[in-house]
Chains A and B, each alone.
Chain A
Amino acid sequence: MLRSPFLCFIIFLLVLSCKETTSPIHKKNVSEEGYNLREKGLSDLENKNFNSAFYNFNKSKIAFETTKDSANIVYNLIQMATIQQINGDYYGSKETLTESLPYIKKKDVYSAAINNLFGIADKELSLYYDAIFYYKEALNDCTDEVSKQYPLNNIAVVYIQQKKYDKAIQILNPIITKKYIDKDSIRKAIFLDNLGYAYFKNDLHEKGLSLMQEGYQLRKQIDDFYGSIESNLHLAEYFLKTDSNKSNQYAQAAYEIATRFNSVDERLKALSFLISNDSGNKNVQYAQKYVTINDSIIKVRNNFKNKFAKIKYDSKKEKDENQKLRLEKAENLLSIQEQKYQKIVAGIGVIFLIIVIFILIRYYKNRGRIEKIKTAYDTETRIAKDIHDELANDVFHAMTFTQTQPLTSENTKETLVQKLDNIYSRVRRISQENSTIDVTSNYAANLKEMLSTYNSETTNVIINNIEKVNWELVDNIKKVTIHRILQELMVNMKKHSQASLVVVKFESNGKMLFIDYTDNGKGCEKDKIIKNGLQNMENRILAIKGTITFDSEPNKGFKVKITLPK
């Protein structure tokens, strides 16, 4: 397939410009290309390079299709159809013309031209009724008298072909009397010639001959050689039966001029006259020439038909491919866009998730921290209370004692030392209660020891199965919590319960640890339990995800059940 580098450049431009969103610039480029191609086609047509002209008009049409410039599309199609008719491809030209119909919006020069061309094609294909119909349509499209003469002439020619000479005369007769026709000698010669021919065929020989000769003279005057072929042929036909010599002269002249103009049909017609006139040696020569020309013209015309069809097909294919490419490109762009959006959405989702997780972490950390601070604060206030309750009073008593009693006496000195020792032991106990807790292998022994320190003359603390718990598997923080809670329970017991027996029972299974505390002290009202400073214990246990329940009634002892995961 032949494809000019220029076209490749346009395709390249198309592909390139797809990337840009500024379509007006792209359109402008394309329409410029369309005009360039059209000009090229016109110059090709002038030089009779029909293939190239057809090719360029087709390209130009495609270019204007993208810009939706319907006037230019129609113009190009008309040019293409004309080229096809010149080369005898009448079916092809009708196809091309049909293509232009959707672009015709109103009656104007273009629609007239199209109808005219349809008429010509149909005439050549011997579809005379159709031809007349189209010519009449063209006639309707024409707005002024001057332009109406072309379709009228054509209609007349068709009538002549149909042997309806009366009708042809009816049409042609009024025109030659019109004034405007005198200005255009070429047209006038045509009308005169056709009218004369019609009269001649209608058996008005004299009138016909004079009109035809008038036309012939006019053509000679204005050097319309191409037109004079037609006159010569008509005259040759006129003298065919009456004067074979004259007929031969005219036919010869027509043949020569037609050969000069490379007008094949006219040459063939001239030859046919020559053949029928001459009965001598030349007849064979003429016949041979006729056959050769006829063969070659059929070949050439078939060739053209094929070529035009191919050009149209190729460019259509090209266009389809282009469109396909563009479609694919657009699809790609779309999918890229989609991916982009998906990515953005996913990104936003991830960011949102991270923020939510971050906030949650902050929230829980904060909550944990607040709990820790609260526990620490509770511990501080408890220690402060201990110091106030247990020490301040005693120290104050010792102070007043030293102020009021004579220290020289051995007896009071001993009492003072006794009081101070008491304070010292209390301080030690408070310190012990709040000192660090050994969470290593000594933990159980330590815990047992702590519990046992609350043994006294009046109270037995009975411990069960403390060693059976696998303390190695328990978290350090939980060990500390257990120690502290049991210590607080024991302190409470010593302070308030007056219990004679305390049982601390340990139990454990794979996942849970159970601790039961029971004493037989005086207990307390159920609804006072929480207010009794046990809130701190509960907070501690909740902090390590355990549960603690208190159960007590007055004079029925005090029971605590602690459950926590290992």
Chain B
Amino acid sequence: MFKKVIIAEDLDGINLAIEQTLKDLEIVNFQNSKYCDDAFLKIRKAILDNEPYDLLISDLSFKKDHRDVQITCGDELVEKVRELQPNIKIIAYSVEDKSHRIKSLFDNADIDGFVLKGRNSIEDLKKAIHITSTSDQKFISYEVASALQEKSNFEIDDLDIQILKHLSSGTAQDEIIQIFKDLGIKPNSKSAMEKRLSKLKDFFKANNTVHLVSIAKDMGII
């Protein structure tokens, strides 16, 4: 379990909740800071004192107030801390649910966990601390888990539209493959074609190819 923890969070109520959670996990050596700058300085001091922190729990958005700050948001803080102390574990704790932002935290700052503030946040935080302390596994709240999964949206490209057009003009599947081969369009294998067709049927909620073409026409794609 973690020995020394730092919390960057500007709301007192949430601070109390996090502290309570840590106490529940029998972690007693923790500090909190209401400004990113403060948190960053504390981490640096701890390294200089040779007593570095094991874990950073950071919010993402901080309210602006009278104080001029260098680091304005949690995104910046976690990146800087990761540079300063690569082996520290970082858990982001936020209401942010935009998957691209969450994804960028994992990609750029290599955070170890993301806990969404919500109904189950205390339970999630406990789970996250537990997982990250015992292994190198990543944790992410269930509600935003899709952020890390590829193909979370239904995107179609020009090739899909070409296939639909060929189908609508009565061209058989094999013939389409042949045409693609002739034009040098890839992928043009039978399996790739079938994969695409089933994807399209899935996207357009079509029962068969005829149904797919009819829907595509209705939706103005072809």
List residues of A whose CB falls within 8 A of some B CB.
Answer: 417, 421, 424-425, 428, 432, 442, 445-446, 448-449, 451-452, 455, 460-466, 500-501, 503, 505, 516, 518, 520, 557, 559
The answer to whether B118 has its CB under 8 Å from any CB of chain A is: yes
The answer to whether B67 has its CB under 8 Å from any CB of chain A is: no
Partner of A442, one of B100, B153, B158: B100
In the assembly, what is the distance between CA of A428 and CA of B99, in Å?
15
Select the stretch in B15-23, B83-91, B186-194, B214-222 that faces chain A: B214-222
The answer to whether B138 has its CB under 8 Å from any CB of chain A is: no
What is the minimal beta-carbon distance from A66 to any residue of chain B, in angstroms? Answer: 87
Interface residues of B in 36-56 (CB under 8 A from A): none
Contact (A463, B154) CB under 8 Å given A445-B100, A501-B204, A520-B219: yes
Q: Establish whether residues B98 and A451, one from each chain, have CB atoms under 8 Å apart when the complex forms.
A: no
**B residues near A428, Cβ cutoff 8 Å:** 95, 97
Q: Establish whether residues B157 and A518, one from each chain, have CB atoms under 8 Å apart when the complex forms.
A: no
In the assembly, what is the distance between CA of A432 and CA of B154, in Å?
22
Q: Mark B148-190, 1 if CB is under 8 A from A, else 0.
A: 0000111111100100000000000000000000000000000
In the assembly, what is the distance between CA of A452 and CA of B219, in Å?
18
Q: Establish whether residues A500 and B205, one from each chain, have CB atoms under 8 Å apart when the complex forms.
A: yes
The answer to whether B64 has its CB under 8 Å from any CB of chain A is: no
Closest A residue to B202 using CB positions: A460
Closest B residue to A446 using CB positions: B100
Q: Establish whether residues A452 and B156, one from each chain, have CB atoms under 8 Å apart when the complex forms.
A: no
The answer to whether B203 has its CB under 8 Å from any CB of chain A is: yes
Q: Establish whether residues A559 and B153, one from each chain, have CB atoms under 8 Å apart when the complex forms.
A: no
**B residues near A448, Cβ cutoff 8 Å:** 153, 155
Partner of A460, one of B100, B205, B220: B205
What is the minimal beta-carbon distance from B45 to any residue of chain A, in angstroms? Answer: 34
Q: Establish whether residues B152 and A452, one from each chain, have CB atoms under 8 Å apart when the complex forms.
A: yes
**A residues near B221, Cβ cutoff 8 Å:** 464, 503, 505
The answer to whether B119 has its CB under 8 Å from any CB of chain A is: yes
**A residues near B220, Cβ cutoff 8 Å:** 503, 505, 516, 518, 559
Q: Establish whether residues A464 and B157, one from each chain, have CB atoms under 8 Å apart when the complex forms.
A: yes
What is the minimal beta-carbon distance from A561 to any residue of chain B, in angstroms? Answer: 10
**B residues near A460, Cβ cutoff 8 Å:** 154, 203-205
What is the minimal beta-carbon distance from A160 to any residue of chain B, in angstroms? Answer: 132
**B residues near A451, Cβ cutoff 8 Å:** 153
Q: Establish whether residues B98 and A446, one from each chain, have CB atoms under 8 Å apart when the complex forms.
A: yes
3 shortest A-B CB distances, which residue pairs?
A452-B153, A421-B119, A462-B154
Closest B residue to A451 using CB positions: B153
**A residues near B98, Cβ cutoff 8 Å:** 432, 446, 449
In the assembly, what is the distance between CA of A524 and CA of B167, in Å?
31
Q: Establish whether residues B153 and A464, one from each chain, have CB atoms under 8 Å apart when the complex forms.
A: no
Q: Establish whether residues A417 and B119, one from each chain, have CB atoms under 8 Å apart when the complex forms.
A: yes
